[in-house]
Structure 1
């Protein structure tokens, strides 16, 4: 796989090491507004999200939203939105990123139940698309351009 890594590096991609949680999810560190947090990488999540309990941690400005969140056994969850945030994942940066804010209690309860650490949020398909993501499952690396 070093040829894939070399090819992507030549194309300007940043390599981000991923860690498996005890629940077999990929986890990574990211900074929102220059503040680091822990996130699950979720290719099935259409939007990147932050839990309500981490709004002050990342200095987010929460606004009401009509969007209802659903996933992982929960539906019609109330949300808010935080607009125009900066995100950085190991050297890859994007400005003016909108984040969905919702109750991540059910996600964190499931992680803790399986002896994994709680997360601040979820990196979803919106960020993966913006970064032209390539995920190498064998080497546990995410590449963003």
Structure 2
């Protein structure tokens, strides 16, 4: 595994540690517009998102969205869109980052029922694709270029 880390370092990948929750979710810290939060790293989520309470916390400008959100246990949920935000995960940055905003109550209630901590949002495939992500599950590391 050391060879992989060396190769990724040469390719200018940034190494970011994550934790695994009691519910087997991958948890990662990230900052949106300079404000830190806790997120689920979700390869199955098409877009990164935050809950409605994130509008104030992360200083988001929420606008209209035609998209209806769907996820485990919920479909057709009302969403808003926040454009042109900054995102920082470890030493990796993205500017002009768009976020879906929706009611994450069902997500956090499920986590709390299993005595896991609530999260502010989800880092999805949009960011993983942009960062050419490589996930090292065994060593609990995410690499972004």
TM-score grouping bracket, smaller chain normalisation = over 0.9
Paired position in structure 2 for 1:57? 57
Corresponding residue pairs, total: 145
Q: TM-score, normalised by structure 1?
A: 0.99
Q: Unaligned stretches of 5+ in structure 1?
A: none
Note the alpha carbon deviations across 1:30-51, whole angstroms, 9 max, x for none.
Answer: 0000100000000000000011
Q: TM-score, normalised by structure 2?
A: 0.99
SS in 2 for 1:55: helix
Pairwise CA distance, 1:54 = 1.6
SS in 1 for 2:67: strand
| 2:41 paired with 1:41 | yes
In 2: Cα distance, 1:6 partner to 1:52 partner: 40
SS in 2 for 1:56: helix
Note the alpha carbon deviations across 1:4-33, whole angstroms, 9 max, x for none.
Answer: 111101100000001011110000000000
Moved >4 Å (runs of 4+)? none
